[in-house]
Structure 1
Amino acid sequence: MDRVYAQTAQFNGEHVQKSTKQGNSRTARQIGAAHKTALAKGEVGIKERRNVPVFKAAMRDFLSWSQKQHEEHPATFRRYLVSSAALVRHFGDV
């Protein structure tokens, strides 16, 4: 059975590991080096994480959307409003 080599590295404090799908370790190292260079140049589409809103704020936004979306079905909005109270008590500012 042929061995497939993977390359591992640390980049910006994160562990990066990918299979090179190569059976030759020298070729795998070359591919790994090229990938590391691409990471350094920002060519692989790594994006910064967006800030996630706290649960309470997300629920407030959802209820605002729901009220507009379910104008013709007010019972649906009321059900979401009632159900959200326990969720907000539990999750709060998480």
Structure 2
Amino acid sequence: MEWMAWTLPTAAFFGGIALLLVTMSIWELRSPCVARKGFLPLATTRGDRLFIALLGSAYLHLLVIGVTDWNTWIASLLSVVWLLLVMRWG
């Protein structure tokens, strides 16, 4: 059986996502949120915005890598900026 090679960047990425989910769960338990309307065309909760932001970041990252010859760090930076924008004003 073949196993996935867990490199440090891969482990850090999935560890970061796990930490983000745990943090959001604790935040929701301590301070329940209500849906609000931002620049997204629907009312969303924090969890909704996190899901939309993670999905959008993944697509944005793939788009930048596929269409441009920019460094992957630039694609990662743009993805993080998108995530922060959606979480704050989405």
Higher relative contact order (CA 8 A, sep 6+): 2
TM-score (ref. length: structure 1): 0.27
Higher relative strand content: 1
Higher relative helix content: 2
TM-score (ref. length: structure 2): 0.28
Higher alpha-carbon Rg = 1
